[in-house]
Every structure is written in C-alpha cells, then in structure tokens.
Structure 1
Amino acid sequence: MNLKFYLKYILVLSVIFGSFYSCSIAKHIPEDERLYTGARLIIKSDSIIKNEDGLRATLESVMGPEPNSKFLGMYPGLYYYYKNQKEHPGFINRWLYKKFGEKPVYQSDVETFDVEDLLLNRLENRGFFYSKASSNVVESGKKASVTYTVNVPKPYRMATFQLDSLPAPIYGAIQTLVESSPFTKGMRFDLNAMKLERLRMDTQLKRKGYYNFDDSFLIFEADTNRYDNKHFDLFLKLKKAVPRKATVPYKIASINIYPNYETSDSLQTEFIRYNEKNYIQKEVFLKPKYLDPFIKLKEGTLYNPDTSRNTARRLSTIGAYKFVNIQYKEIDTLVTDSLGLLEANIYLSPLNKRAFMAELQVVTKSNNFTGPALALTYSNRNVFGGGETYNTTLKVGYEAQVGGEKSLGDSSLEFGLKNELIFPRVIFPFKINDDFFQYSIPKTKTSISVDYLDRTKLYTLLSGTALFGYVWDANRYVTHQINPISVSYTDLVNSTPEFEDILSENPFLRRSFEQQFISGLTYSFTYNELVDTQRTHQKYLNFTLDVAGNSISLFGKEETPNSPKTFLGLEYVQYAKADVDIRYHFNFGKEQTIAARLFAGYGLAYGNSDVVPFVKQYYAGGPYSVRAFRIRSLGPGTYNAVQDTNNTSDNFFDKTGNVRLEANLEYRFPIVSFFKGAIFADAGNIWNTTENPIFDGKDKFSGDFISQLGMGAGVGLRVDIQSFVIRFDLAAPFHDPSLPKGERFNFDVSKPILNFAIGYPF
C-alpha cells in the first residue's frame, strides 16, 4: 500500500467520524439555538493600506467570541461537554470533560453590534476616521457564522508635531525628547504609537531626575482645522493640575546604607561615613570598604531609576543578602523652584550566616551507569566580613551498569570532598578600577577538591584539583569565566590485571592515563538569551578554551634523552582544546518550542604529549548527545567493535576522540498539566586526527565526515515541575556509521534506547 492509499483512508475515516460527531452534537443543541462556527472579515478600502495584514490581525482580535475548537471536522471538546451533562456521566467522561471539554458557543452569545463598535474603535485609533462597519449572520441548519465588513477610508496623516508651552525646567527636557521623537511628517494617526511615545518620554525624564513624573501627565491633541485633505497638527501638552514637584528634577542629597537591617530593630548604634555614604548598623556586619563598590548611587547626582536598579541587582549578587530594598524619601523643606532633594535609604537583610544542605541525587553516567549519590554541603556566608562564602561538600555515590551487556567494571564507588571559597570582588596583585565593571563586579572563586573512585575489577583512581579564577556578567546576557590557575593530578593507585590487558591493547589509552599532571588555563564565554523566557526567538552561544602545560613547560626538565619532560618529578600534559556550542529556540503557540543545537570541538596534543588526556577527550551518544546510541558507544568514525575480532577489551574506554561534531533538532509541546512531550532527531560522531592503531584507521577524521555521522530520531516525555525536569527519551538509529556503506540507512525501531536524565538536553 502506498502513501496515496493511506491519505485516502484517513480522509474517509475523517468524513465518517466527522459526520458521526456532528450528528451526535446536533441533537444536543437547543431548539432555539444554533452553534456558532466563527466569523470572517472583509476589508474594503478606497486607498492602499500599508501593513494590511497587521490591521486585519488587530481587527480580528476583537471579533469574539471564539468558536468551539475543531479537530478533523469534529468537536471533541463540545462532545465531552454534552456527555458530561448526563445524569450519571461516569468517571471517564468527567475526567475527559475536565481535561478537554468546552462549553458550547451559540449564536445568541454573539453581540454583533458590540463587535461593530469595537471594529470602528480600532480603526479610529489607527487614523481611519469615519469608517463604517456592518455584519451579516449566515445560518445553515443548526450552525451559524458571521461576516463582518468594514469600509475603510483614507487615513489622517500628521503635518507637524510640536510642543505646547510648559513650565521650566521641564520644558527644555521634553523639547529635547520631541526633537528625537520617532514621529515623522506624513505618519498615520496612531493612538498606540502615542501611548508608546508617552512611555518613552516618561522613561527618559526619569533618567534625567524627574522623580515624581508620570506618563499619564502627558496628553496629545490633534488639530485638523487647518487642513481639508485629512492632515492634522499634533500638539504635546501637560494635563491641567499637574503637581509642581512633577516638573522639577530631583538630586540625591544623602545615602544611608543599613548593611544588617532587621525590621524589628529600631536602634542603630554604629554610624560610619565612608566615600560620601552613611553606613548605619549595630555592629560591623559587612565592612563598608567591601560593600561600597556595589553601590552606584552617588551624592549630588540626579535621580536615575536605572542606577537604582543596577545597585539593587549588584547587591543581590553578593550572596549574603536575602532582601535588597532601596527607598527614596523626599526632603520637602529643601525643595526649590527648580530642584528637589531626595534621601536614599538602602536596607539590606542578611541571609542566615550558616546553612546546611543535604541533596539526594540520581546520577546517570557513561555506558548506562546509574545510581544514587548523597551530597552534604555546609555553607558559611560573610566569613571575613566582606561577603565571602565558604562551602564544603562531601559526596558519596554508587553507580552500577543497568541494561545492555554486562562488562568489566560494571559498578563503581565514589567519594569526594570539595572546599570552595568565593570572594565577591577581584583578588588581584594590582588594583583594578571598579568602574570597569559597570554591570556586575567579578567574583573570585578558589577551590580544592579530592576524589576517590573505585571501579570494580578495573582500577582505583585518586585525583585532586585546585582552581583559582574569576566569573562575572558583562550584561544581562554575557558571562565571562576565566581560571588562570587550574591544576589537577590523578594517580592510578591500583590497576587490576584485566585493566592492564586493556591498556596493553591500546597504547593511546595507556598514554592518556600515564600523564596525570595537568596545569593550565581555561576561559569560557557565554551569550544566553534563554533567560528571557518570553522571547519568541532565543539564541545561545558558548565558547570554551582549555590550554594546559604552556607556563609550566618553562620549568620542565628532561630526565632522560627523548623522554617527556617533568615538573617536580611529575610528567605534565600539554594540549589545547576549544569547544563551540550554538543553540536556537523558536517559541510559538502555547508552550511549543522548536529547539536546535550545533556543537563542534577540537583538542590538540603537542609538546610533551602525544594524546589528549582521557578525561579531556570527547565521546558521543547518550541523553545529552545522539540519543539513539548509548553513551560512548558511537564512533570513533566508522569503527565497529563487534566486527573487530582482534579487540577483546571493554570498548567503554576506546570510544573517545579529539574531534566532535554534533547537531540536534527537537520539537517540544505540552501534553497535560506538567507533562511535556518531544519529537527529536540527532546527528553526530567523534574522530581522531591522529590514527589510533587499534581502530584500523577507521577513526581518522576526513572530508567524508558527513557520511560518518550517527543519526537517530525518537520521542520524549518530560515531567516539568517549576523548571525541575525529569526526562525520558526513547530513540532509535536510522543511520549507523559502523555498518558497511549501503547498509547504514536503516530505521531500526526493534531495539530502541531509553535515556533517563535530569534537565533538558539543550
């Protein structure tokens, strides 16, 4: 049977069921009623209408009410409503009505005269004065619809825009805004544009110190008396009885900061004057010299709400406060004819100094490894009186391989201890001007961590890491993170004979485990529009650079000729690695999103290293990659471990490379309540730029890389509760690069892969 047959089959079924539903619904419609099926709009004009589609959309938005929704010619929501009207509808019908039911919309619910008035109102608001609107009800059996017709004449257009007489000093401020107005000669009369212009002027005036001004004080007046050709003069005025204090700018006369404010406290004993600000507190909670850089308000400057919001946001990033409240008080006795004075009060309510958090996690990792983990964190805020935060975390986790074929090392036990100290300022040998960081002040992060990993029947790994770096927001969307000091050391303290056999078969893998000392620099740039959830188009870009071994190579020593250099007796790594992650979200309809992602990464080993360290190499497959393949089961290149009779090792370790390319496309939609659905397709793979002998040259990156991409598609179910997402994705491959050419395209749905993860994949 071909596609044409299926389409005909679906069409016949639609007609049959549509007729059935229509008949079953028609008998429930009251005798004196007709089901309202909607309205259409006819626009007649004696001139060309610019942006007619936009005008039509505006007019159609008032043509209520909305008719009952249809699906393939049927009214399922209405059907469930009528079924629920029975004396004993039953549990199923009550549930279906609650989820999908709709009350009927009848012809009597349509107020055509009210709609005509709304149509005329919207036309006049857009300059189409003296328009006409009419309606015609079309009846057909037990159904009825309405056709609205509007006759649109030539619109009125602006000839001049000028400012009426106003008191000083606000006249000069508004005159400047009028000169920069987007209003131009010949523009059509548009009430909505005038409302937006009032808001723009109000915002700009507030930034110039007009603390008591409000956009409702402004009024536009149009005069058509001078013209006979549908033109008008537009005048901007102040309404009558506008208070005098709204027409003068305000200056900040004093700034009072309460670093340890509690609403129950009325007595503040300590008063410190620092950098033209008053710090008032019972005892020194946060030292003024550390708090002052976060405050952008200055005595003697004009009031500006942007500066106030910026100050509040900066103070909230310290991490020591749960509430930041900035209030202004007018000093009425000092108000002059041309200037008002304000007192700024900044109330800061601290968080509890000490906190303890226990977190039970479900971890999903490589090769279907799943298991519980318990993390215990102790936090001490404002350790040294400068807003510093100290965190210490103890983590215990157990993982076991679930699903798939069991292999060596099918379980592991992990212990970890991490100590972190965060300074809400720049710790640097030289002083950096705070004005350089207008949006936010960088945080200095330092951490030391130790991890113990016991992989049963394979190895025991002991590793330590030390970091020193900075993170800051350049603006709402851009974040920089740089770690000039990043040192890690890994010691393979125990290795079983089975693991030694694996290393013996793969010299590249052995080499990646031998060089355990990594000292380098990492930098990350992130541009993230996903923070604006209301955007239709959202973009995301992350670039990460990881360079190791350059600085330390200056002190390296060659113990024996032609051997790798060492530092303090440790063989160190040299490599450079760069990643680019690009994402795009298109939001439409009701909670519907098309999400796309591109990822490219490359690692280069040089100098003291022949291969990028194992922990820094790329792998493909899994819940955050190509979901139709298990983690680390895809690639490298066209390699197929099943067909390789010479490789008896556990290929969990082999499936890595120094090149990774990946693309993902996903359609996300709501199902019911907090259940969300997805349909997705993924493509990607990993390669090596230097052939690993164990792969017989099949892992080498070449110009034929597109034909070597692993591809898959599937469906997903997500439980999304207030941004906490539990995700299940079921996927199957339709292009497997490990198969011979000509056999790679095969949508194998017989053995799908189920992915479980926390959070969205991208």
Structure 2
Amino acid sequence: MKINNYISLFFIGALFLGCSGTSKIPDGHLLYVGSDIKIEKGNESKKTRRQIKSALDNIIRPKENKSILGMRPGIFFYNLFDKVEKDKGFKHWVKYRLGEAPVLMSDVDLDYNKKVIQNYVENKGFFNANSKVDSTRKGKKAEVDYAVKLGNQYKIKSVIFPKDSILLSQEINLLKNESLLKIGKPYNLEVIKTERSRIDTKLKERGFYYFNEDYLLVQVDSTVANHEVDLLLKIKNDIPIKAKNQYKINNIFVYPNFNLKKDALSTQFKDTITYDDFTIIDNKTTFKPFVFNKTLLFNKGDLYNRTTHNLSLNRLITLGTFKFVKNEFKVNNSLENQLDTYYYLTPLPKKSIQIEALAKTNSANYSGTELNINWSNRNTFKGAELLKIAAFAGLEVQVSGQNNGFDVYRFGGESSLTWPRFISPFKMSSGSAFVPNTKAALSFEYQLRTKLYSLKTLNSSFGYVWKENERKEHNLNVLNIAYTSSNNVSDLYKSQIAENPSLQKVIDKQLIFGTNYSYTYTNTMLQNKKNNIYFRGSIDLSGNSIGLLLGANDSNKPKTLFGVPFSQYSKLEMEFRHYHKFSGDTKLASRIILGAGLPYGNSIELPYIKQFFIGGTSSIRAFKARSIGPGTFNGNDTTNNSFLPDQSGDLKLELSTELRTKIYKLVKGAVFVDAGNIWMLNKSAEKPGAEFSGQFLNELAVGTGVGLRFDFNFLVLRTDVAFPLRKPYLPKGNRWVIDAINFGDRTWRNENLIFNLAIGYPF
C-alpha cells in the first residue's frame, strides 16, 4: 500500500473519530447516545404496545445528538472552535448553527424520566403499571434502558352527567349523546380533558359566555369492578354566578377609527351614527355604515355564540383594512343577562407604496429577476374597497438548454379594484369567516423574446373570490377577456416557421372571451396531521355566448370580433397532491395532474397560451422544459435546437412522487420519480404519433433523480439532477432506457443528465 493511501486512511479515521463525538468529552463524563424503551408483553395488543412505545420515545428527555451512520457532525462542528467571543460571524454560525453541544449522561435525570413514563401510562388507564430504569456504558458512551410492564388497562363502566334542575346542568345533560366518553372504552385522561373542552365549546355556542372548562370536574371511581371505572361529571360548587347564566346580545358599538394611544385614555367621540342594530362612533366618518352590517354577524337579541363571535373578528381581519381588531363584551347593568358588544378597530394607513425585487423561475427552465412597484388605496370609496396599481419589469434567461441566448424581457402593469362584498344584480351572501370579494382587473404586458419576436397581451376580468372556510376557496371570473398580438418577428423565427408551420400559432393574434371557475381544497395548514391533501379543479370556457350570437360553427371560416377570430373551447384541469409524514423531518409528496381541452365551433385548436406543455423544473425534471410529446412525437427531429419547437397538446397526464427528508439544519434532500405526457385529440401531419389512443400508458415519459433543498425560511433554493428512464419518442420495445444508464460515460451524461435550478418546491 502506498504512503498516500496510509495518510488518507489516517485522516478518514481521524474524521470518523472526531465525528463520533467522544474525542473532547471531559474526563469523568459520558456521551449520552439515546434510550431504549421495552414494553413487556401482557394482555394488551401489539398495536397498543407499539403506540405507547412511540409516545414514550417522544417525551423522554433530553434527546441525544443527531447521528448519521454513527457520526455526529453537530458535535464535530461545535468542537471546531473552543471559544467564540462574538455573537455573530462565521465562527458563531459554525459552532451554534451547524454545531450542537454534546449531550452528556449527567444531563439525564433518570428518576424524572421514570416518573414521566409512569404518569403517562397511568393516564392511559394502566393504573397498576410498573417501570424500571437502568443505564449501560460502552467506552465513553452511555445508553439508558427503560422497561415498562403495563398490567391491565382499566375501562369505562359508566358515565354520569349532571341531572339537577339548574339551566347550566340541563344544557350539559343535553350534550351527553355526543360524549367522547364511551362505555367499554379504555380510560384515557386526554379524552377526559378533550370532553371537558367539547362541553365548554358547545356551551359557548348556547350563550354561556363566562363559562370555562375548568369549572367542570370528572371524578373517577376505580373501586366499582375489576379493572373498570365509573366517571361522574360534575359542576364545581364555587363557580361564579355569571358562569351559570345564558347571555344575549344587546347594544353593538363600533369604533372604526380607534387610536390605541389616544382613545385608550379618552372615549370622547362626537359623531355617532345608528345603522340597523349598530351604533357607529367615528368623528371622521371613515367608513360607510353598510361595511359593518355586511361584516359583523351578531344582531341585537341574538343568543351569544362563540362561532359568530370568531367569524365576525375573522371577517374584520380579512377585510385587509384594519391593523388592529379588538373585541370586548360587557354585562349591561340595567338589563338581566344582556351583553353589550364593543369593536375597537384601528385602520391601516389608507395609502401605501411597495417596491420589491424578486428572483423567480418558470416551467420553461428560465430563471431571472423582476422589479415590482405597487401602490394601494385600502378604502377608496369609504367601503373598504382596495385599489391597486402595479408596474413591473423583469429579465429571464436560460443558463443551459435549447433557449440559451434567447433572453426574455418583460414589462407591464395592472390595475385592480376589489370590493369586500358581492357586487351582483342577484342577492348573494356569505356567512363564513372570510369576507367575499368582487374583483375587476385590467392588465397589459409586453414581452420581448430576443432574436425571435415580441408579444403584447391585454387582459381584463370581472369576478368573485370567496372562501367557505380556511380549506375551501372558490374563484369565479364571470368575464375574462384576453387579447394577444405580435410584432418584430425575426427572420430566424420566420425561417423556423417554414420548417415547422405550427410555430405560426405562437405569434397569431388571439382573442379569448369567456368565463372560468376554480375550486381549491387543502388541509396542508394542519401541521399535526400525518396525511395532508391539496386539490384544485378548474374549468375554462371561451366564446360560447359570442359563438351563439354570431353563429360560429365552422372553424374553417371563423367568425371575427373586432377583426380578430375569437377562440371557442372548453378546458378542464385537475391537480391532486398528497403529503404523507413518516416523521417530523421525512415526508412523501405525490401529485397527479389531469387536463383536457376541446376546441370547437370557431376554433380548430386551443389558443397557444391555453395548450398543455410538459417537462421542466416543476414538471418531469428528467427532460428539458416543454420537450416531451405530444404522444410519441420527437421534437428533436423538427428543430435545429436553436430554440424550443412547438410541443403542445390538448390532453395532459402527469404523475410525480418525491421522498423529502432533512439532511442537516437548513439542508433537505429528495429522491423523486416523475412520469407523464401530453397528446393531441386529432392526428397531425406535422406531428406524427401525437394523437391520443388506447396505448397512452405505453407513451408515458418516466424520469428519476435526486435533489437538495436549501431552506432559508424566506426562500427555498432547489437543485435537482435527473435522468430519463423511459423515452416515449423511441420505437416500441426500445422506450425503456434503464439498461443504457452509464454515469461513467461522458456522452451518456451530456445527453441524459439534466440539472435543474429553481426557487421553491416543485409541488
């Protein structure tokens, strides 16, 4: 063995020793490397033992240092610098951000952990449980062993609710049919606490404003039978009188221009407006009174209801007009069991300007920057309307790929007006926690693709956005108009049109005159769930009303509007995502996308901007942007690679699954597999093999790869390296290319390895 090899082995061994975490452990101390909990087999099920073991693993403290293949890089980085005098800088970042102090055996309180274990299993009904604790030492490391014998789990024999004649007891007794405490179920302290909270919540819906769950007592009698308990639900004797009373809403006062500093010391307001059940106190008449009638859901005489209380507060907040929202209820001294309601509202500055610089990527593998200037007026017509005027300019480039050198310059602007209510000739209302919005928008964008062409796009829309709750959102554009035209078409692009005539449609004038609707459901905001989902479905209709009026039924002789043939089509798209958490740091994310567009009447095909594309940084990452399909069509055969060919379709199927896990601190890793393709509804002489058929599953592109995600909280920078497993454009029988994978072959790497740099997760 050469001397260099010995030196290498020496340094590798030193690195392993350093990373093991024991090299700098003080004399007389041991490195704590974790615990092992054993649940002795008894009468309980294997599932119960597994659940209890998992729960105990989570509550035992402290947690050992994180290790990777037996190495503890956190301790290694912590020990790189003995002393760090400054609270910032590189050394501080390495020692306290990358590194972590070694957890010593002396930090472990064995008696305390034993009590924690005993308390937990008793709270699960194992009143006769027994636990033991011991520790083992190996070199400079120590591990703790816990042994738990559960014994018999006590079950509920009976549940007794209050039966006396006072109103509070009667209301509680009405709730027993939905009780979480079920006869025959195991005793569980957490379920008892949840039951108290449930009763408290229900009482808050029935006017008991001053009640509290701590006023309920659950007595447990474990002497009634063998391994069974009686539960007696009681109201404590010393609760306040107010907690026993049911309250109704009396006067409702609104202070819409409340100043926390000034008005907290003085409540002298001159101008008072009475509007329906509201008394509005505002010297400046900042808002028109109807705003509060549509936002606040309480009416005089209503029984107090916690849901209505919270909905009203959320609606005030989601108006987007107030900086602070405070609500107070006071007992009316002159009326029995009546509450006066006060809303103290501090407005945001009426006008504001915001300048922001963005880094962005798109599905075509372009990266770039954008500068936005936004001006807002939050109360334009004193009805909490939001007027926004924005301007933007940006540059997008492709570092590598077929469009390298064909930079994109964009600039434009948008103005929009949002009303926090439904503006409609029909009566529409929403009682959710989110105020419904009506929005009108007008925008213009100029896009210059260097060496190719420029596009001008004008958009206008009028529609509604409303949320049923935090999970469900609807977006309906009753009217959506888009007009696109081109100029400055280069000779290069014209020469490409001569070779591939379908490229002409990219620069053709397009007029879309229609309606679109989308529905979104998600519970991804619930972080404690093991499974989360996201669904978005949309339908886009264009030209139907105009087509009927003008009699458009022949795509070969299209009707025009303002001298431009208008598009007529229906388009449906659905996206479903599923997120499964294996642990706090490991997640499996999966996605399926289905899309279909049908041109008819005045159109032979979908407008170019409405067609489907596939491939790229947020699609099938093993293929370049928009380089797959349609069907078995090979775009490489129709282009000189100076820029992307026209590879669009009417149908789309895309599937992805990605295993994400935390590697270290800010760094997360991923392994993924993507599949999918697009197709055309009809045969095309220019794109052989592009049409959809019963063999579509045999025409799916498949790719795989690995990636790193650098999560800086405010920004996620994503890098992926991917390569194809299946190429749909190859002849039948040769489409799977797994056997051809050869990372050592430079030619294979150049032709197949795709590097993606993007911002944010792919889905």
- Is this a same-fold pair by TM over 0.5? yes
1:182 match: secondary structure: coil
Contact 1:387 1:423 (C-alpha < 8 Å) held by counterparts:
yes
What is aligned with 1:525?
A: 519
What is aligned with 2:564?
A: 570
Q: Which whole-Å deviations, capped at 9, do the CAs of 1:122-174 have from their partners, x for residues lacking one?
A: 33333333443444555666665555444444343333221346572211111
1:500 match: secondary structure: helix
For residues 399 and 549 of structure 1, the distance between their equivalents in structure 2, rounded to whole angstroms, comes to 33
2:458 match: secondary structure: strand
User: In terms of mean alpha carbon deviation, does 133-142 or 423-432 score higher?
Assistant: 133-142
Q: List alignment gaps of at least 5 residues for structure 1.
A: 1-11
Matches within 5 A, 1:503-518: 503-510=497-504, 513-514=507-508, 516-518=510-512
1:316 is the counterpart of 2:317 = yes
Contact 2:408 2:448 (C-alpha < 8 Å) held by counterparts:
yes
Matches within 5 A, 1:15-414: 25=22, 30=27, 38-43=35-40, 45=42, 51-59=48-56, 64-67=61-64, 70-73=67-70, 95=94, 99-106=98-105, 111-136=109-134, 145-164=143-162, 168-224=166-222, 227-263=224-260, 264-265=262-263, 266=266, 267-332=268-333, 334-335=335-336, 340-365=337-362, 368-404=365-401, 410-414=406-410
What is aligned with 1:681?
A: 673
User: In terms of mean alpha carbon deviation, does 417-426 or 525-534 score higher?
Assistant: 525-534
Question: Aligned to 1:725, which of 687, 709, 716?
Answer: 716
Deviation of 1:289 after TM superposition, in Å, equals 1.5
For residues 623 and 613 of structure 2, the distance between their equivalents in structure 1, rounded to whole angstroms, comes to 11
Structure 2 residue identity aligned to 1:199: S
Structure 1 residues 102 and 273: alpha-carbon distance in aligned structure 2, compared to 1, 3 A threshold:
same
What is aligned with 1:656?
A: 648
TM score, norm. by length of structure 2? 0.87
What is aligned with 1:545?
A: 539
For residues 640 and 80 of structure 2, the distance between their equivalents in structure 1, rounded to whole angstroms, comes to 64
Structure 1 residue identity aligned to 2:320: G
What is aligned with 1:8?
A: none
What is aligned with 2:682?
A: 690
For residues 220 and 484 of structure 1, the distance between their equivalents in structure 2, rounded to whole angstroms, comes to 56
Deviation of 1:47 after TM superposition, in Å, equals 7.0
Structure 1 residue identity aligned to 2:622: A
Deviation of 1:609 after TM superposition, in Å, equals 0.9
Structure 1 residues 130 and 477: alpha-carbon distance in aligned structure 2, compared to 1, 3 A threshold:
closer
Structure 1 residues 159 and 549: alpha-carbon distance in aligned structure 2, compared to 1, 3 A threshold:
same
What is aligned with 1:7?
A: none
Contact 2:370 2:394 (C-alpha < 8 Å) held by counterparts:
yes
For residues 290 and 218 of structure 1, the distance between their equivalents in structure 2, rounded to whole angstroms, comes to 40
Contact 2:401 2:624 (C-alpha < 8 Å) held by counterparts:
no
Structure 1 residues 370 and 70: alpha-carbon distance in aligned structure 2, compared to 1, 3 A threshold:
closer
For residues 290 and 138 of structure 2, the distance between their equivalents in structure 1, rounded to whole angstroms, comes to 79
Structure 1 residues 756 and 56: alpha-carbon distance in aligned structure 2, compared to 1, 3 A threshold:
closer
User: In terms of mean alpha carbon deviation, does 15-24 or 487-496 score higher?
Assistant: 15-24
Deviation of 1:295 after TM superposition, in Å, equals 0.7
Contact 2:30 2:142 (C-alpha < 8 Å) held by counterparts:
no
Q: Which whole-Å deviations, capped at 9, do the CAs of 1:416-447 have from their partners, x for residues lacking one?
A: 12221111111112333x2x544434211111
Deviation of 1:597 after TM superposition, in Å, equals 0.9
Q: Which whole-Å deviations, capped at 9, do the CAs of 1:198-227 have from their partners, x for residues lacking one?
A: 1111111111111111111111112355x3
Contact 1:559 1:566 (C-alpha < 8 Å) held by counterparts:
no
Structure 1 residues 403 and 37: alpha-carbon distance in aligned structure 2, compared to 1, 3 A threshold:
closer
Structure 2 residue identity aligned to 1:423: W
Deviation of 1:555 after TM superposition, in Å, equals 2.6
1:633 is the counterpart of 2:655 = no
TM score, norm. by length of structure 1? 0.87
For residues 514 and 605 of structure 1, the distance between their equivalents in structure 2, rounded to whole angstroms, comes to 16
For residues 256 and 637 of structure 1, the distance between their equivalents in structure 2, rounded to whole angstroms, comes to 65
Deviation of 1:240 after TM superposition, in Å, equals 3.3
2:544 match: secondary structure: coil
User: In terms of mean alpha carbon deviation, does 366-375 or 386-395 score higher?
Assistant: 366-375
Aligned pair count? 736
Structure 1 residues 240 and 667: alpha-carbon distance in aligned structure 2, compared to 1, 3 A threshold:
same
Structure 1 residues 191 and 382: alpha-carbon distance in aligned structure 2, compared to 1, 3 A threshold:
same
Deviation of 1:524 after TM superposition, in Å, equals 0.6
Deviation of 1:313 after TM superposition, in Å, equals 1.1
Contact 1:125 1:190 (C-alpha < 8 Å) held by counterparts:
yes
Structure 1 residue identity aligned to 2:259: E
Contact 2:310 2:433 (C-alpha < 8 Å) held by counterparts:
no
2:381 match: secondary structure: coil
Question: Aligned to 1:416, which of 405, 412, 415?
Answer: 412
Structure 2 residue identity aligned to 1:725: V
Contact 1:77 1:97 (C-alpha < 8 Å) held by counterparts:
no
Structure 1 residue identity aligned to 2:524: L
User: In terms of mean alpha carbon deviation, does 625-634 or 134-143 score higher?
Assistant: 134-143
Tell me the C-alpha RMSD between the 2 structures: 3.6
Structure 1 residue identity aligned to 2:104: V
Structure 1 residues 87 and 219: alpha-carbon distance in aligned structure 2, compared to 1, 3 A threshold:
closer
Q: List alignment gaps of at least 5 residues for structure 2.
A: 1-8, 744-748
Q: What fraction of aligned residue pairs are identical, expressed as a percent? A: 33
1:584 is the counterpart of 2:578 = yes
Deviation of 1:537 after TM superposition, in Å, equals 1.3
Structure 1 residue identity aligned to 2:173: Q
1:211 match: secondary structure: coil
Contact 2:121 2:127 (C-alpha < 8 Å) held by counterparts:
yes
For residues 457 and 81 of structure 1, the distance between their equivalents in structure 2, rounded to whole angstroms, comes to 54
What is aligned with 1:468?
A: 462
Contact 1:512 1:611 (C-alpha < 8 Å) held by counterparts:
no
Structure 1 residues 718 and 76: alpha-carbon distance in aligned structure 2, compared to 1, 3 A threshold:
closer
Deviation of 1:578 after TM superposition, in Å, equals 0.9
Deviation of 1:235 after TM superposition, in Å, equals 1.4
Structure 1 residues 97 and 25: alpha-carbon distance in aligned structure 2, compared to 1, 3 A threshold:
farther
Structure 1 residues 429 and 24: alpha-carbon distance in aligned structure 2, compared to 1, 3 A threshold:
closer
For residues 405 and 729 of structure 1, the distance between their equivalents in structure 2, rounded to whole angstroms, comes to 18
1:51 match: secondary structure: helix
1:708 is the counterpart of 2:699 = yes
For residues 565 and 470 of structure 2, the distance between their equivalents in structure 1, rounded to whole angstroms, comes to 42
Deviation of 1:651 after TM superposition, in Å, equals 5.5
What is aligned with 2:4?
A: none
Contact 1:502 1:649 (C-alpha < 8 Å) held by counterparts:
no
Structure 2 residue identity aligned to 1:722: N
Contact 1:638 1:739 (C-alpha < 8 Å) held by counterparts:
yes
Deviation of 1:63 after TM superposition, in Å, equals 5.2
Contact 1:640 1:738 (C-alpha < 8 Å) held by counterparts:
yes
For residues 426 and 98 of structure 1, the distance between their equivalents in structure 2, rounded to whole angstroms, comes to 50
Structure 1 residues 74 and 345: alpha-carbon distance in aligned structure 2, compared to 1, 3 A threshold:
same
For residues 162 and 345 of structure 2, the distance between their equivalents in structure 1, rounded to whole angstroms, comes to 44
Contact 2:699 2:728 (C-alpha < 8 Å) held by counterparts:
yes
1:261 match: secondary structure: coil
Q: Which whole-Å deviations, capped at 9, do the CAs of 1:443-500 have from their partners, x for residues lacking one?
A: 1111122222333343333332211111110222111111121112222344344433
Contact 1:166 1:237 (C-alpha < 8 Å) held by counterparts:
no
Deviation of 1:366 after TM superposition, in Å, equals 6.6
1:553 match: secondary structure: helix
